[in-house]
Amino acid sequence: QRFRFCGDLDCPDWVLAEISTLAKISSVKLKLICAQVLRDLLGEAIEYDKILKLTSDAKLESGDVKATIAVLGFILSSAAKHNVDSESLSSELQQLGLPKEHASGLCRSYEEKQSSLQDRLRACSLRLSQLGSVRWRVDYTLSSSELQEVNEPVVHLTFNVRDRECEKMTAVPVTLSANKFQVLLAELKQAQTLMNTLL
Amino acid sequence: MLLVLSAEHRAHLGCLPRAGGAAIGELGRLALEQLRRGAAPRACETAARKLNVGVDTIQHGVEGLMYLLTESSKLMASIPFRKISEVDFQDSIHVLGFSDELNKSLLQLYLDNRKEIRSILGELVPRLPSYHSLEWRLDVQLASRSLRQQIKPAVTMKLHLNQNEDQTAQVLQTDPATLLHLIQQLEQALGEMKMNHCRRIVRNMK
C-alpha cells in the first residue's frame, strides 16, 4: 500500500514495526517527545534526558527509546520532504495502526513546525559551494616596467567562497581592466534579470 | 592442521608450568585483553608482582599465549569441525611437554574464546571504500552566457564514502538518460543474485 508521506512508496518495515512502540507511550507524552525530535531536526540540541524521563512510564528499554526517536524523525522529516499536509499525515498514520489521539497530537506538532522544517531541509540540500562575500578596490595604474605612462584604472575583486563541507572560506582574487569589468558586469546583470523573471 | 611452534615461542610458553594453575587463568585473561585492546604493561607488572615472577617472564608468557590462541583460532576452523580442531590443538601443545592439567586448561581457554578471537581477526582485513550516503539534486539549466532559452535537466550527486574511518566525498553530475541507464545496470546487477548460478553458490555457503 502506497503512502504519501513515504513518497508514494510502501512504508518501510521498520517504521511499521515501531508504530506499536509509539502506541505504548501516552499521547500527551508523545507530543512532547515530538517537540524534542523537531528540535533535533531543526538543528537545535536535543535533550535526551527529557526524552528518557518521558518514556520511563512506558517502561521502554534503551533500544526502544532510540527506535522511537528514529521513527518520529523519519515520519516528520519525510512528511515535510513530500509536502504532506497534517490531515493526510494523520489519516495515513492511523491506517498504519497509530491510535487516533497519538496521530492527532503528532500532526499538531508537525503542523506548527512544517514550514520551518521545510526551510531547514531546503538549506541542507546539496550545494557545492557558496559565495560568502565580495570585496573590491579600484586602483589607478600610473606607470609600469613596460610602459612609462599607463594611466589606467584597474579593479581588484576578492570572492570569498565557502566550501559547504569543511566550512572553510577560500579567497579567490581577480584583477580586471575597466573594459573586462564592464563586460562582466553586463553579463551578470543579464543573468540577474533572468533570475528575477523566475522568482 | 598442526601448529608448528618455534623454539622462541616454546621458551616463552615454558614459564607456564612454573606459574601454576591460578596463574594460567590470570595470564589467559591478560592475553585476551591484549588481543582486544592492545598491550597493557601496567597489568603485566601487577601480575608479575602477584605471582612473584619477573616482569619479562610474564610479558613473554602473555605474548606467547596470545600468539598460540590467535594462530589456533586462525588456522583451525570452528563449529562444524569441532572434534578435529580440538585434537589438533591438543596435539600441537603436546610438544611443549606440559602436564595434562595444564593442557586441559589451555584447551579450555582456547575453546571458550575461539569465536571472539576469530571475529577480532576478521576485522583486520583491508577495506575498500564503502558506501556511506548519497545526496542528490535535480536542476534545470535555463540559460547560459552563450545561449538563452534552454531546458537542460541535470542530476548532481555527492557520493559519501567511508574507508577505515576516513570520509571522502565524490561529486558527480549526469543527465537523466544516463541516470536511467545507471539505474538499469544496477538493477541488472541485483538481479544476478536471483539467477540459478548465484543461488547455488549461496546455498552451498550456508
Which tens digits make up the pLDDT trace of A59-106? 778 888 888 899 999 999 999 999 999 999 999 999 988 889 889 989
Question: Does B139 reach chain A within 8 Å, measured CB to CB?
Answer: no
> Does B20 or A113 have the greater pLDDT score?
A113
- Which of B21-35, B63-77, B87-101, B166-180 shows the highest mean pLDDT? B166-180
Q: Which of A121, A126, A164 should we substitute to test contact with B (largest number of B Cβ atoms within 10 Å)?
A: A126
Task: For residue A187, give the nearest of B136, B145, B156 by CB distance.
Answer: B145
Task: For residue B169, give the nearest of A127, A165, A191 by CB distance.
Answer: A165
Specify the DSSP class assigned to residue B81: G
The letter for the amino acid at A91 is S
pLDDT score for B184: 96
Q: State the cell numbers at A171.
A: 579567497
Which tens digits make up the pLDDT trace of B74-91? 877 655 555 556 777 787
With beta carbons less than 8 A apart as the criterion, state whether A98 and A22 touch.
yes
> Chains A and B: how many Cβ contacts under 8 Å?
20
Shortest distance between the Cα of A49 and any Cα of chain B, in A, equals: 29
Shortest distance between the Cα of B170 and any Cα of chain A, in A, equals: 11
Nearest to A25 by CA among A71, A85, A76, A86: A71
Those residues with Cβ within 8 angstroms of residue B154's Cβ, 6 or more apart along the chain or in another chain: B138, B139, B140, B141, B173, B174, B175
Q: Between chains, do B136 and A126 touch, taking CB under 8 Å as contact? A: yes
What is the sign of the dihedral through the CA atoms of A171, A172, A176 and A182? negative
Nearest residue of chain B to residue A127 (CA atoms):
B137
Please check the confidence at residue A155 and state whether its pLDDT lies above 90.
yes
What is the sign of the dihedral through the CA atoms of A56, A59, A60 and A62? positive
Which tens digits make up the pLDDT trace of B134-174? 999 999 999 998 998 899 999 999 999 988 778 888 999 99
Shortest distance between the Cα of A44 and any Cα of chain B, in A, equals: 22
CB atoms within 10 A of CB B187: 9
Question: Does B171 reach chain A within 8 Å, measured CB to CB?
Answer: yes
The strand pair at A9-10 and A2-3 is best described as: antiparallel
How is the beta sheet containing A129-141 ordered, strand by strand?
A: A129-141, A152-163, A168-177
Question: Does B145 reach chain A within 8 Å, measured CB to CB?
Answer: yes
Give B158's contacts in chain A (Cβ within 8 Å). Answer: 126, 128
DSSP β-bridge partners for residue B139? B154
pTM of the model: 0.67
> ipTM score of the complex?
0.76
CA B110 from centre of chain: 17
Question: Does B169 reach chain A within 8 Å, measured CB to CB?
Answer: yes
Angle CA B71–B77–B83, to nearest 5: 110
CA distances from A132 to A195, B126, B160 (A): 19, 40, 24
Locus of grid cell 586462525: B74
DSSP β-bridge partners for residue B138? B155
With beta carbons less than 8 A apart as the criterion, state whether B49 and B104 touch.
no
pLDDT score for B88: 77
Shortest distance between the Cα of A115 and any Cα of chain B, in A, equals: 20
CA B92 from centre of chain: 24
